[in-house]
Amino acid sequence: MRIPSFSITRPVRLSHVLMVCSVLAPLPAWADEDPESLDIMERQMEQLQQQQMALQKSLQAMRQQIIQHRAAMGGTAAHGGHALEVTGSGGHVRGGWTPVEGRAPASSQAAGIEPMARPRIGGHSDPLSEPGDQPTYESVVAHREEDLIAHMANNNVGPHNRETVGAQSAGALGSKVFHLGPVSIILGGFFDAAALVENRQVSSGIFNYWNAIPFRDSSNFHTTNFNGDARYSRFSLMARGQLNPHLTVAGFVETDFGASAETTNPYESNSYVPRLRQVYLTLDDSHANMHFLIGQAWTMLTPDRVGIVPRQESLPETIESSILAGQTWSRQWQVRIVKDFLQHRLWTGLSIENPATIYDTTGFGDDLGNGQYALPGGYAKIGSDGVGLSSATTNYSNEIAPDVIGKLAWDPRWGHYEAEGVVHFPHDRSVINGVGENHTAIGWGVGGSMILPVIPHRLEVRLAGLTGRGIGRYGSVLLPDATLRSNGAPDLLFSAQTTAGVIAHPNKVIDVYGYFGMQRSGRSYFDENGHAYGYGNPNADNTGCMTEGSDLNPTVLGSCTANIRSVEEFTIGAWYRFIHGQYGTVQAGTQLAYSRVHTWGGMGGAPTTSLSEIFFDFRYLPFQ
């Protein structure tokens, strides 16, 4: 039978077909290990998606030509030959976006895409003869270990495996990228159910608040405690757009339920409220190797794992949400600019961050309210209670300038190494004998960290530390930054903190860890008119710290005003991922922790106290 001739107004380009088919080939082995190649491949996938759409339009043009010629001839598929049928493997999209439900062949999954619509020959019916039918489109869905914008050198440490708890603490995202037009959407987070048993009653849940560990004078010292909750379940989202082949913009938000409202109670509803963990905007230029961040994120003082890259902070694998005694961290507003050199091996960063100062006012008489404390002959004003949308029960320290932080990171072929520094400017006002005066001090800190891949990707050692004056708030224990001088000026306290850890990944489903952390504070004090003022004063009354009930009857049994000198924590734990598949990951963990508190000596000695804990946790990660 003679087949009628016809022209195609929109030809199918051979390049379209070759580009789409090429992604179905197996990836070379180096692609799984080189983050830079993965970044390049993702851009290629975006180009392939455009090629895919062009191919679909070309097929649609062919289809319309066939329909028109058959209509002109008054015939159908019965005229002979085989029909061209455009089908998909599942999860079709009509002019919108959605993740593909079907599964791709192994080669295409490795390439990070789902199979696209492709022609099929065969069948006795011809769906192309139905004018109302429209071609379908499948979205391209990327599968990656982590969505990394910045290129990174291979240091045998590598970026986080997002299934580890350290990655989850930093804000790891899921494994799929959904495309909403030119914007990529990536989800992250987990459902969490944790519990602990402790040998003292500290009403902070799985958030360790070492300052509240009781001494023997409190009945809480003599009672054990069990607590369980799901408030640290987390949700995160990143939206990302490619402005040009080299410039990428992204926004990231992360939240959990770690905050408490005034109506929250543990007796009935346990209605903890959402809190802001992170929210920031990034702009990355892969041509100039420049990286910009503005918003609330982990402080740049936080140790990193590779480069100076958001969501690659080196955080412990612990269950406790306060992380680890001695860990350097904070999440706060900042403006950060980073540049990398030498093929992404040398990184430099400068960050302007939101300041805060923790004052200790031991011995300075009564709190006069609204951040004002009594001095001999007057008072010092160190802050103000929150108003408007700020917490009315929180005193916000008065600050005159932001904290300035600088960091240098080095990624040779073995290990990750950092050095950093911070400058802080505590500021207050005093009124003595009717004369007011402003005071500004200059705090500072220097530190560093390293990750040693003893067995790359299997066993690593982590070391980190920070020391200086007026920087206690950057440690997990939240020891004070300053006390007050006799004239009301900030008196900066020495501070030092350090952590050491060993982390092992014996196989893909088990993580084992052990850590030691320590934070230490200095002392500064003066005596006037028979009264002891300041932090760590040897004339402070510690006579009641060892007698139960003295906290309620200090006149008879003595007081316990001991100031913390240092806190140490030893902890070991393990995580087991016992379910893993396309539906996500389910893991369970347990941890043993022992903390010990040492104080500065005063009248009655230098009392100590301790806390032992057992943590349990179950976590479901639907996106990983």
For the segment 421-440, what is each residue's pLDDT rounded down to a tens digit?
999 999 999 999 889 999 99
State mean pLDDT over 486-510: 95
Residue 155, domain member (yes or no): no
Q: What single DSSP character describes residue 283?
A: E
Residue 147, domain member (yes or no): no
User: Using an 8 Å Cβ cutoff, are 572 and 592 in contact?
Assistant: yes
For residue 621, list its beta bridge partners: 585
Query: Does residue 129 share a domain with residue 201?
Result: no
Residue 8, domain member (yes or no): no
Query: Does residue 218 share a domain with residue 106?
Result: no
Cα–Cα distance between 483 and 481 in angstroms, integer? Answer: 7
User: Using an 8 Å Cβ cutoff, are 328 and 447 in contact?
Assistant: yes
Query: Does residue 169 share a domain with residue 205?
Result: yes
Strand spans (E) along 140-272? 142-143, 176-180, 183-198, 225-229, 234-242, 247-259
Give yes or no for residue 620 having a pLDDT over 50. Answer: yes
Window from 133-142, 455-464, 535-544 with minimum mean pLDDT: 133-142
Query: Does residue 124 share a domain with residue 221?
Result: no
Residue 137: which residues within 8 A CB-CB, separation 6 or more? Answer: 52, 53, 56, 88, 92, 93, 94, 95, 117
* Structure-model confidence comparison of residues 490 and 549, the more confident one: 490
Query: Does residue 531 share a domain with residue 483?
Result: yes
Torsion of CA 534, 540, 546, 550, to 10 degrees: -100
Query: Does residue 311 share a domain with residue 379?
Result: yes
**CATH code, 501:** 2.40.160.10
Q: What is the mean pLDDT of the chain?
A: 82
Query: What does the pLDDT look like over 209-259, one tens digit per residue?
Result: 999 999 999 999 999 999 999 999 999 999 999 888 888 999 999 999 988
Query: Does residue 237 share a domain with residue 127?
Result: no
Query: Does residue 169 share a domain with residue 72?
Result: no
Cα–Cα distance between 138 and 525 in angstroms, integer? Answer: 70
Give yes or no for residue 484 having a pLDDT over 50. Answer: yes
Give yes or no for residue 588 having a pLDDT over 70. Answer: yes
Confidence of residue 344 (pLDDT cuts 50, 70, 90): very high
Residue 482, domain member (yes or no): yes
From the list 480, 481, 482, 520, the residue with the least C-alpha distance to 498 is 520
Q: What is the pLDDT of residue 151?
A: 79
Identify the residue whose tokens are 């408030």. 231
Query: Does residue 600 share a domain with residue 477?
Result: yes
Q: What is the pLDDT of residue 57?
A: 74
Q: For residue 541, give its domain range.
A: 165-180+192-259+274-386+396-621
From the list 448, 462, 424, the residue with the least C-alpha distance to 496 is 448
Pairing of strands 183-198, 176-180: antiparallel
Residue 240, domain member (yes or no): yes
* Structure-model confidence comparison of residues 140 and 66, the more confident one: 66
Q: Is 88 left (phi over 0), alpha (psi -120 to 50) or beta?
A: beta
Identify the residue whose tokens are 């696209």. 116
Cα–Cα distance between 351 and 76 in angstroms, integer? Answer: 69
Confidence of residue 416 (pLDDT cuts 50, 70, 90): very high
Cα–Cα distance between 289 and 272 in angstroms, integer? Answer: 42
| Structural domains in the chain (count) | 2
Query: Does residue 453 share a domain with residue 310?
Result: yes
Window from 447-461, 493-507, 534-548 with minimum mean pLDDT: 534-548
Cα–Cα distance between 64 and 54 in angstroms, integer? Answer: 15
Cα–Cα distance between 568 and 372 in angstroms, integer? Answer: 32
Collapse the DSSP code of 383 into the 3-class scheme (helix H, G, I; strand E, B; otherwise coil) and give the result. strand
The alpha carbon of 286 is separated from its chain's Cα centroid by a whole number of angstroms, namely: 23
Confidence of residue 328 (pLDDT cuts 50, 70, 90): very high
Cα-flanking dihedrals φ and ψ of residue 234, to 5°? -135, 150
Q: What is the pTM of this model?
A: 0.77
State mean pLDDT over 288-310: 96
For residue 320, give both structure tokens: 């406790």
State mean pLDDT over 290-298: 97
From the list 31, 309, 293, 43, the residue with the least C-alpha distance to 151 is 309
Query: Does residue 225 share a domain with residue 137?
Result: no
Residue 158, domain member (yes or no): no
Query: Does residue 171 share a domain with residue 112?
Result: no
Give the percent of the chain with pLDDT over 90: 56
User: What is the separation, in whole angstroms, between the first and last Cα of the chain?
Assistant: 56
Cα–Cα distance between 603 and 426 in angstroms, integer? Answer: 30
Q: Is 21 left (phi over 0), alpha (psi -120 to 50) or beta?
A: alpha
For residue 257, give both structure tokens: 């339920």
Give yes or no for residue 7 having a pLDDT over 80. Answer: no
From the list 478, 451, 479, 480, the residue with the least C-alpha distance to 464 is 451
User: Using an 8 Å Cβ cutoff, are 606 and 546 in contact?
Assistant: no
Burial of 522 (0-12, 13-18, 19+ CB in 10 A): middle
For residue 450, list its beta bridge partners: 417, 463
Residue 154, domain member (yes or no): no
Confidence of residue 84 (pLDDT cuts 50, 70, 90): very low
Cα–Cα distance between 305 and 411 in angstroms, integer? Answer: 9
Residue 208, domain member (yes or no): yes
Q: What single DSSP character describes residue 493?
A: P
